């Protein structure tokens, strides 16, 4: 497989991951808003038993916390950033006559540069020294 094919395959993979993360963030936002509306109506109209209304009322906040902790938007942005960087490499390889060795090295540099920027869930607690 040529470097050009590998770059194209990586671009498609990153595009799929970016789309997936963006759609997840968007869907959770919409679900939170709709659940909030339903909860308000359920409370005002006393549509459901009290326990169901309580769960509906708590759901929008819980959904938004999950959305925030899983960092779907940040992950989508990270994937798009890497995708656009790799697209630049592909264009240099195909249209500017850059060597595969040079582009391969730049690809590795992009990966090394972006790796520490990946949105994590947070830092693990540090072990205290006695």
Please report whether residue 13 resides in a domain: yes
Residue 34 has a pLDDT of: 95
Is 126 part of any domain? no
pLDDT reported for residue 33: 94
Mean pLDDT by 10 residues, the chain (130 residues): 93 97 96 93 90 92 93 96 96 92 94 92 69
Domain contains 125 = no
- Our count of domains for the chain comes to 1
Domain presence at residue 59? yes
pTM (predicted TM-score)? 0.82
Q: Residue 43: inside a domain, yes or no?
A: yes
Rounded CA separation 130/128 (Å): 6
In this prediction, residue 129 carries a pLDDT of 65
Which residues form the domain of 96? 3-117
């Amino acid at each position: 497989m040529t470097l050009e094919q590998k770059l194209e395959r990586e671009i498609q993979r990153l595009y799929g991951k970016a789309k997936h993360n963006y759609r997840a963030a968007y869907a959770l936002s919409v679900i939170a808003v709709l659940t909030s509306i339903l909860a308000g109506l359920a409370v005002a109209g006393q549509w459901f038993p009290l326990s169901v209304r309580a769960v509906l009322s708590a759901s929008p906040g819980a959904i938004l916390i999950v959305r925030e902790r899983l960092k779907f938007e940040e992950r989508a942005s990270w994937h798009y950033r890497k995708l656009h960087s790799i697209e630049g490499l592909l264009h240099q390889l195909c249209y500017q006559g850059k060597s595969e060795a040079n582009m391969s090295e730049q690809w590795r540099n992009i990966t090394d540069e972006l790796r520490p920027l990946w949105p994590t869930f947070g830092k693990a607690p540090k072990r205290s020294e006695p």
